[in-house]
Chain A
C-alpha cells in the first residue's frame, strides 16, 4: 500500500518515530530496517534518537516531589493529617 513511502532518507526519518514506538506494521518495519541496515546516516539518526529518549527518561528519575511541597499540598486540600501513605522517596 504505502510501499513507495519508505524510499529515501527523508521518508525514513518521517517514519523513524513510529518505528521507535512500535507503530509500523511488519512490512513497513522490514522496509525501514532494510534501509537502516544499508544507510549509515539513517542508522546514526535512529541510534542517537533512541539514545536521546533513553537519556531524557534517565533524567526523569532525578526529580521527586520535595516532602514540604507535598505537605503543603495535603494541607491545602485538608488532607494534612490523614495521609500516612509511604512517600515516594
Chain B
C-alpha cells in the first residue's frame, strides 16, 4: 500500500504549520500537473495560470481545514477542478458541447466509424496535426467528461482517486471516462480515415 512517489512524502503536519519548505515541496511535486490540468480544461495559458495560482493559494490558506481523509494530491486536484469549472462558467456562459452527439438518449456511446488506423506510420500518428485534433477533441468534451478523462488518462489517477476528486461514484466516473475516450477515438478516426485510401465508409 505504501506509495513511494515524492508526492506522498509530503508532510501534512508541516503543511498545516505553513512550513515553507513543505509548501515548496508541494509546489515542486504538483505545479506542473495542476498547470497542465488547467490548460487542458480551459485551453488558455492565462486561465491555466489563474487556476494554478488560485489552487495553491487556496491550499495554502485552507490547509488546516484539510482533514487528511484523502491524499493531499486528491484535495489539490479537487480545488483545481473546481477553479477550472468556475472559470469556464465565467468565460463561456453559453458553452455548448457538440461532440456529445454520439451519445444516444440513454447515454450510451456507440462507435460510429470503424477504420483501422493503427497501422499508420508513427510519424503520421504522432504529428503536430494529430495533437491539434486531440486537443480540439478534448475541448469538445462536456466539462464533466473532460475532467474525468484528464484525471484518469492524462494525470494517471486511479478510478477511485478520480471519483474522489470529482465527488462522484466510481461507476459514474467510468461512464464519463468511456464517453470521453470514445469521443476522442471518433475524432481521431475521422481524421486518420482520410489518410488511409479506400477505407472511408
Decide whether A and B assemble into one complex. Answer: yes
Q: Which residues of A contact B (CB under 8 A)?
A: 10, 13-14, 17-18, 21, 23, 41, 44-45, 47-49, 51-53, 55-60, 62-66, 69-70, 72-74, 76-79, 82-83, 85, 88
Is chain A's binding surface mostly helix, strand, loop or mixed? helix
For B, the interface residue count at a CB cutoff of 8 angstroms equals 49
Nearest Cβ in chain A — how far from B105, in angstroms? 15
Q: Chain B residues with Cβ under 8 A from A88's Cβ?
A: 32
Nearest Cβ in chain B — how far from A88, in angstroms? 5
Contact assessment for B181 and A53 in the assembled complex, using a CB-CB cutoff below 8 Å: yes
In angstroms, Cα B59 to Cα A73, docked, is: 13
* Apart from the given pairs A44-B116, A70-B27, A73-B31, 5 other A-B contacts in the complex at a CB distance below 8 Å: A10-B110, A14-B178, A45-B114, A56-B149, A64-B32
Contact assessment for A79 and B20 in the assembled complex, using a CB-CB cutoff below 8 Å: yes
Contact assessment for A70 and B31 in the assembled complex, using a CB-CB cutoff below 8 Å: yes
Shortest 10 CB-CB distances between A and B: which pairs?
A52-B185, A83-B24, A44-B116, A85-B28, A65-B35, A17-B178, A47-B118, A65-B32, A59-B131, A63-B36
The residue of chain B having its C-beta at the shortest distance from the C-beta of A16 within the complex is B178
Question: Cβ of B68 < 8 Å from any Cβ of A?
Answer: no
In angstroms, Cα B27 to Cα A44, docked, is: 42
**Complex interface residues of chain B between 102 and 125 (CB less than 8 A to chain A):** 108-111, 114-118, 125
Listed by A's residue number, 7 A-B pairs whose Cβ atoms lie within 8 Å are: A18-B174, A48-B116, A52-B188, A56-B149, A77-B27, A77-B60, A79-B27
| Known contacts A57-B154, A65-B32, A79 near B53 by CB under 8 Å | no
